[in-house]
Amino acid sequence: MGRITTHAMTEMTAVSEFTIDTSEPDLAELARFFAAQTNDSPELIEERLRWQRLNPSRTPDVPYAWSARSRNGKLAGAMLCIPHRLRKGLRRCTALMSSGFYVDASFRGAGMGLFLRYRALRGRYVLYATTANAQAARLWQWAGAKALAQTEYELLCPMRWSSLVEEMSVQRLGPRSAPFARALGTLANLRRFASWSRSTAELISVRHPEDAVIRSTGDDLQPVRDVAFIRWRFFDAPQVGAQVLRFRDEKFSADGFVALTHVRRGHRKQIRTLFLADMWGAISPQAFPSLLHAISKRCQQTDDVLAIRCLDPVYLEQALATHCVRREFACPTGWYIDQAAMLGPDPVLIPTATTELV
């Protein structure tokens, strides 16, 4: 959710020094501002911003972004508002995800003004975030938010150990341990590969978003996966190498779809991470280990680890039995405000495809 300090929760007087702008932002200016806060490339950020602006769930009454400007017009803070259409049984609603919430270190008072403008929409929309750090979590709690279920950890399913062992060694022993750790990790790879050969399932590349649209079933919370969403979210998404695959396994009568995205992690970006970004169709918990094995077998030469977030507990139990491990966070990263009770009772499990990191 960005860098919000505890001081920003109580510092209200400085808000009057800023103007909150809800007009369509200059994406190049916005990208330069975000780049200054994150040290990322402004060109890559602008590409992502242009993609986000094409979101098929956007509505005319919700700004693409809120910007805070000082009296001399300087951009002092900004927050993106990413809408997602959700369905739960026959009910539908639009939820607004807070994303890219950054405030310049010298203008922290502007952060509260941005968040209050966003919170004012809680009567009409569900509000939520999925990348909150401890400070941002306190801000959400102050606003009356509840924690989203299964956001206090991520599940890691190693495919190649060398880069992972290196990362753990560097964190504990320092960078000089990296070469020795990589050698140990290579030996661990040999044992892991043997277990993947047992999978008889198949994964087939989907070339067109129209081929991945199926009739929605069940009462769990899901995104509205129409052609527009699937195309935008996976086929048109920049920089993540997204792919949609059809998964079949006759043994479990499984026939559904998964979406995978890629990102680099680690102290030198050496961990090639594959995210399970979405899963839909007839894939039962019993078929989940087969799916994990099929993904590992397909991607073991190009990726190091499969990461999964917001996983239903019945699927989590099956995954842990296949030697996947939980990586615990200091606090839940997901928080939501559902004033109109559109999502039903707690616990609320937000669909992975509508989170920020995947």
Pairing of strands 243-249, 254-265: antiparallel
Q: What DSSP designation does 356 have?
A: S
State which CATH number among 3.30.300, 3.90.700, 3.30.70, 3.40.630 fits the domain covering 153-328: 3.40.630
Chunked into runs of 10 residues, the chain (358 residues) has average pLDDT values of 40 59 93 91 96 96 92 91 94 95 81 92 97 92 97 94 78 71 59 52 97 88 97 96 97 97 91 96 96 94 95 96 92 96 94 86
Using CB atoms within 10 A of its CB, is residue 310 exposed (0-12), middle (13-18) or buried (19+)? buried
What is the pLDDT, as a whole number, of residue 220? 92
What is the pLDDT, as a whole number, of residue 178? 62
What is the pLDDT, as a whole number, of residue 186? 61
Cα separations in angstroms, 247 against 219, 234, 252: 22, 16, 11
Q: Record the pTM.
A: 0.89
Evaluate whether 7-147 and 153-328 have a shared fold. Answer: yes
What is the pLDDT, as a whole number, of residue 184? 61
Instruction: Tell me the CATH class for 7-147.
Output: alpha beta
Radius of gyration of the chain (CA): 21
Using CB atoms within 10 A of its CB, is residue 82 exposed (0-12), middle (13-18) or buried (19+)? buried
What is the pLDDT, as a whole number, of residue 173? 75
- The number of angstroms, rounded, from the C-alpha of 287 to the middle of its chain's C-alpha atoms is 24
What is the pLDDT, as a whole number, of residue 183? 63
CB–CB of 87/102 below 8 Å? Answer: no
Count CB atoms within 10 A of the CB of residue 246: 16
Sequence letter at residue 61: D
Pairing of strands 126-129, 91-103: parallel
Domain spans of the chain, in order of start: 7-147, 153-328
The beta strand positions in the chain, using DSSP E, are 19-21, 65-69, 75-88, 91-103, 126-129, 146-147, 153-158, 202-205, 221-223, 243-249, 254-265, 271-282, 305-308, 325-328, 335-337
Residues 125, 308, 48: CA angle, nearest 5 degrees: 60
Residues 127, 134, 37: CA angle, nearest 5 degrees: 80
Pairing of strands 146-147, 335-337: antiparallel
Task: Tally the C-alpha atoms within 13 A of residue 271's C-alpha that lie toward its C-beta.
Answer: 23
CB–CB of 93/338 below 8 Å? Answer: no
What is the pLDDT, as a whole number, of residue 5? 38
